[in-house]
Structure 1
Amino acid sequence: MFDAARPLLLATLLPLLFAACGKAPAPAEEVRPVRYTVVGDDAAQPSERFAGEIRARQETKLGFRVAGKVVEKLVNAGEHVKKGQAIARLDAHDYALDLSAKRAQLAAAEHDLAQKEADLRRYQELLAKNFISQAQVDQQRNAVSAARAQLTAARASADASSNQTGYATLTAVADGIVTDISAEPGLVVSAGQPVATLAADGAREAAIAVPENKLTALRTAKSFTVTLWAANKHYTGHLRELAGAADPATRTYAARIALDNPDDAVKLGMTTSVGLPNANAGEQIRLPLTALLDEQGKHYVWVIDPASRKVGRKPVSVAAVGTDWVAVSGGIVRGQQVVTAGVHLLRDGQRVSLLKESAA
């Protein structure tokens, strides 16, 4: 009976034995998700960048034209004012008293002149009747001329005193923003002492400090790239002003780069980065710093084949490095897809899946 069951048992076990002796199935190919960027036409990176801030082209230090004690501050720093708007006031009591005295002197001079002119008319009538001499008439005529001169002086003195009273109020010389004010009530100021800074509306500029070895490049550059740190927006600009001497403390030259196309995103005091154009900018590519792979002193980037979705390592030369960007040349061209994250986890020929594109 056992012999009769043997063929059936062998038929059952043989397929299992052959399956156990066969090769194991190949493991599934690893597909690694990566972030990437497409190298665009705006990838050229300036060779030099200088930190600066946005300033108004016209910045005026405001001060009272007379001395006195501040009794009223009418605006705060950061407020927008109109031309002629009052910013602060001094105690004008003493100037008002002086104006009253000068006006009284003016009234006295007017009455004195009127009296002298009336006397001259009477003298002329007496001369016609031969009651007085011509010399007396001439003497009275000189008295009239002196009284008229005194009236002119009294009027000018009164006008000057009126101006002094008006100078006790500090007003804006143009429409703009008060960027700084130190005229607090109780402060005693001298004539001409700056107590406020007014940034006039209109043109905006980037103020930078340039080392002496970059002066030639700055003067010869036709345009500049101005980048706002907060908004990550880019503008073009041109050199408007360059200091003739270096700052004695920093040994750098102050320069102003006028923005050609500012918009509402440009605010006073914003941090900005000004880039000098690079002679080889057309050959350089700007990438996120995370796209760069460093191995044994050499630099590479991973380029994605759009057809096979596989990556290949390409050698590049680093031209410039910023806080979050790198300018490279060689190995890649515009329009290619470059991995921007996880570059140390890839290998040549590895298949990848594409996540959201990152900004270059």
Structure 2
Amino acid sequence: MNKYVLGVWLTLLVGGCNSPDGTLPPATATETKAAKVTSVAVQVIEPQELQEQLTLPGSLEAWEDLVLSAEIDGPVRWIGPQEGDRLKQGEVILKIDPDTRQASLDRARAECDLRRNTRDRFKTLLDEKLVSPQEYEDASCAYEVAAAELRQAQVAIEQSSLNSPVAGVLDRLLVDRGEHVSAGTPVASVVQVDRLKVVLDVPEKDVAYLHAGERVQVVQATINGPQEAGVAGELIHLAYKADPVTRTYQAKIAVDNAEGRLRPGMIVRVEAVRRDLPGAIAVPLYALVEQGGRKVAYVAENGVARLREVTTGAVIGDQVLIEAGLAAGERLLVKGQHLVTDGGAIAVAGD
């Protein structure tokens, strides 16, 4: 081989090892750097004993909210308690013309006593045949009439005093002393507040979970400040017929208010147990990832992340029920789950 042929051959050999532009070919990704590994944290999925809560808004009402009316005509002569005062059952609130009613009672009592004595005297005379049976009968009838008038006067004196039918609070006085009222005129408003009732509307989807006699928790709604402690209540009524407009069922809950913390008209929340969930699979809300309109989760499996499409249920606190897609014992990614892909390499903290 002459020198010319040898030179051409070496030139071709060198040129074939270079790229068309005369540079060396690049190295592969595995040769330049190792595959990307994402650091994650996991939580082992374990069955839990959970309770799904039902929370509904309601309003407090007085157990009894009474507007008391005058039973007789006359001027208001006396008013005892003032607005806001506590009342005992049967306590006198005001009196309407008691002097006139008392005078009528005294006159009726005296007349009744006179007619009774006359009847008794005529009875003795009849036994001695000194009066006729008709005269005795007339005396007896006169006594009966006088006795009826006495009973009427006694009723009138009772009606002249307006008494509270329940233990409660005198919320409003609707008349002043000296004012003339007629029978049927509203004169006072009394509310019973040592026991209250919550009125609320229950949606159709929740009716099946509530039953009369069930114990619930009533919590005063607050906008600012610390949350007030709840009080126990009892469901006493749940309507069988839905409201035709709202399609909800009215419920009433009895609440003990002996301490006087609650007032009629307040807005409250009613918390009840919707259902018990033994052996439930629930995961933190933040562990789920939104992908294309679906919810997914990632689990650690042999050093890689595996995608699981999940079906979610109710949210309980900061956890969500998993109805399908995850199983007990799997290692759920709770940190770094937004940075991984299905089959991507991961490094689990603590492993």
Q: TM-score, normalised by structure 1?
A: 0.55
What is the CA-CA distance between 1:250 and the residue it aligns to? 2.7
Q: Cα distance 1:65–1:37, how it changes in 2: closer, same or farther (>3 A)?
A: farther
Report the counterpart of residue 294 of structure 2 in structure 1: 298
What is the CA-CA distance between 1:209 and the residue it aligns to? 1.9
Report the counterpart of residue 84 of structure 1 in structure 2: 89
Q: Cα distance 1:59–1:108, how it changes in 2: closer, same or farther (>3 A)?
A: same
What is the CA-CA distance between 1:75 and the residue it aligns to? 5.6
Report the counterpart of residue 5 of structure 2 in structure 1: none
What is the CA-CA distance between 1:192 and the residue it aligns to? 9.4
Is the contact made by 2:88 and 2:164 (CA closer than 8 Å) also made in structure 1?
no
Q: Cα distance 1:233–1:346, how it changes in 2: closer, same or farther (>3 A)?
A: farther
Quick check: 1:51 aligned with 2:56? yes
Is the contact made by 1:63 and 1:170 (CA closer than 8 Å) also made in structure 2?
no
Is the contact made by 1:224 and 1:277 (CA closer than 8 Å) also made in structure 2?
no
Is the contact made by 2:51 and 2:274 (CA closer than 8 Å) also made in structure 1?
no
1:84 alignment partner, SS class: coil
Quick check: 1:152 aligned with 2:126? no
Is the contact made by 2:298 and 2:307 (CA closer than 8 Å) also made in structure 1?
yes
What is the CA-CA distance between 1:117 and the residue it aligns to? 3.8
Quick check: 1:197 aligned with 2:214? no
Report the counterpart of residue 93 of structure 1 in structure 2: 96
Larger helix percent: 1
What is the CA-CA distance between 1:141 and the residue it aligns to? 1.3
Q: Deviations over 1:64-111 (max 9, x none)?
A: 2635879565463xx8x575264x824x23254224313322222212
Of 103-112 and 324-333, more deviation after overlay is shown by 324-333
1:63 to 60, 67, 73: 67
Aligned length: 293
2:159 to 160, 164, 186: 164
Unpaired runs of at least 5, structure 1: 1-25, 129-133, 354-360
1:315 and 1:334 mapped to 2: Cα distance? 17
1:197 and 1:37 mapped to 2: Cα distance? 56
Larger strand percent: 2
Report the counterpart of residue 276 of structure 1 in structure 2: 274
What is the CA-CA distance between 1:164 and the residue it aligns to? 0.7
1:227 and 1:327 mapped to 2: Cα distance? 25
Larger gyration radius, structure 1 or structure 2: 2
Is the contact made by 2:45 and 2:281 (CA closer than 8 Å) also made in structure 1?
no
1:43 alignment partner, SS class: strand
Q: TM-score, normalised by structure 2?
A: 0.56
Q: Deviations over 1:195-221 (max 9, x none)?
A: 3332454xx876442345655x34789
Report the counterpart of residue 171 of structure 2 in structure 1: 181
1:52 and 1:189 mapped to 2: Cα distance? 42
* One-letter identity of the residue aligned with 1:198: Q
Unpaired runs of at least 5, structure 2: 1-33, 222-226
Q: Deviations over 1:110-164 (max 9, x none)?
A: 124324544665x55xx95xxxxx5843233123312321232133113212321
